[in-house]
């Protein structure tokens, strides 16, 4: 079975109703986790820690969805090869 990695990250947003970060140099990378359950736990801890900051949000990115080595890709996906 393929690994299903998840990235947890967050930071201060320009506007709480959008997902544009105020300063990308200050994005907090919580970590990469081997499954959704552990990523969710880390996400929840950071979300609760920053609950008083309306402009701070944390996200879970499903890294395993970015690229599946078993699937054929378009020519642009292989740029530089």
**Tens of pLDDT along 7-36?**
999 999 999 999 999 999 999 999 999 999
With respect to residue 75, please indicate whether it lies within any of the assigned structural domains.
Answer: no
With respect to residue 26, please indicate whether it lies within any of the assigned structural domains.
Answer: yes
Number of domains comprising the chain = 1
With respect to residue 42, please indicate whether it lies within any of the assigned structural domains.
Answer: yes
CATH number at residue 53: 3.30.70.2400
With respect to residue 12, please indicate whether it lies within any of the assigned structural domains.
Answer: yes
HSE-up of 78 (CA within 13 Å, CB side)? 8
Instruction: Look up the domain containing 36 and give its range.
Output: 6-60
Under the banding of pLDDT at 50, 70 and 90, the label for residue 3 is confident
Rounded Cα gap, residues 70 and 73, in angstroms: 9
HSE-up of 15 (CA within 13 Å, CB side)? 2
**Tens of pLDDT along 58-78?**
999 998 777 656 666 555 444
């Amino acid at each position: 079975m393929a690994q299903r990695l998840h990235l947890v990250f967050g930071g201060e947003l320009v506007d709480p109703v959008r997902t544009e970060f105020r300063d990308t140099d200050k994005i907090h990378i919580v970590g990469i986790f081997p499954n959704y359950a552990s990523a969710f736990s880390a996400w929840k801890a950071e979300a609760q820690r920053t609950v008083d900051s309306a402009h701070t949000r944390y996200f879970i990115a499903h890294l395993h969805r970015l690229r599946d080595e078993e699937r054929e890709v378009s020519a642009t996906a292989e740029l530089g090869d």
